[in-house]
Structure 1
Amino acid sequence: MPHLSVHALESDLAGRETALIQNLTDAVVAVYGEWARSITVVQLIGLPPNRWGIGGTPAPAPSPSVTFGIKEAAFRRPDADEIVARLVSGVTDAIVGVLGERARAGLRVDLVGTPAGRTGIGGVVVTS
């Protein structure tokens, strides 16, 4: 299940939540196919001003950061480099499409692989 956690300033998210969720889901679907739409999870985490620091001081307008959780097996596929590039590009474009070009330069996308058997849903370990 693709799981995206987006950290951004609350002021960047306010009023744009639906568009961000739709764009990010569409970016995942563009790589994996329509089957992934119903299982893609997007969490938007808004931070108030002065709670995001860069270089030891509060950042006035930081770009969002995205943690994208996927199955670790995706990184072992023969086309892994292409998939990673498409996901990073698609997620970046999805966010920039809503927040504007100013978000692109510092926007960080971390793809985090979870090994099989290391996730639980509803109190049960998921093995696939």
Structure 2
Amino acid sequence: MPHLTVHALESDLTGRETALIEALTDAVVAVYGDWARDLVDVRLIGLPPNRWGIGGKPAESPAPAVTFGIKESVFARPDADEIVARLVTEVTGAIVAVCGEGVRSGVTVDLVGTPVGRSGVGGVVVAA
């Protein structure tokens, strides 16, 4: 299940929540196919002003940052470089489509792979 956690200033998220969830889900589907749509988990974390710092001081207008959690096995596929590039491009495009072109240069997308057996659901370790 792809998990996308977006950190952004609360003021940048307000009123855009539904559009952002839909756009990010569509971005994942563009790479993996429609079968993945119901598995995409998007979490929007809004931070109040002065709770995001860059360079030792509060950031004035940071671009959204996305942590994209996926199974580690994706990185071992023969087409891993292509998949990674497409995910970064599509997710960035989704953020830009909703938040505006002005954020593009600062949007970060971190793909984080979880090894098999290193996560759980409902108190049970996921083995596959």
Shorter-chain TM-score: which interval?
over 0.9
TM-score by length of 2: 0.99
Asked if 1:126 corresponds to 2:126, the answer is yes
Deviation digits for residues 90-113 of structure 1 (CA, Å, limit 9, x no counterpart):
000000000001111111100000
Which range is displaced more, 49-58 or 67-76?
49-58
Q: Distance in 2 between matches of 1:48 and 1:101?
A: 22
Structure 1 counterpart of 2:36, which letter?
A
Question: Residue 106 of structure 1 aligns with which residue?
Answer: 106
Structure 1 counterpart of 2:47, which letter?
L
Shift of 1:54: 0.7
Please list, as runs of the form range in 1=range in 2, the aligned pairs for 1:1-128 lying within 5 A after superposition: 1-128=1-128
Aligned CA-pair RMSD: 0.5
Deviation digits for residues 42-97 of structure 1 (CA, Å, limit 9, x no counterpart):
00000001111111111110001000000000000000000000000000000000
Q: Distance in 2 between matches of 1:121 and 1:78?
A: 29
**Gapped runs of 5+ residues in structure 1?**
none
SS of alignment partner, residue 49 of structure 1: coil
Structure 2 counterpart of 1:98, which letter?
V
Structure 1 counterpart of 2:86, which letter?
R
Deviation digits for residues 23-50 of structure 1 (CA, Å, limit 9, x no counterpart):
0000000000111000100000000011
Q: Distance in 2 between matches of 1:96 and 1:28?
A: 15
Percent identity over the alignment is: 74
SS of alignment partner, residue 113 of structure 1: strand
Shift of 1:22: 0.1
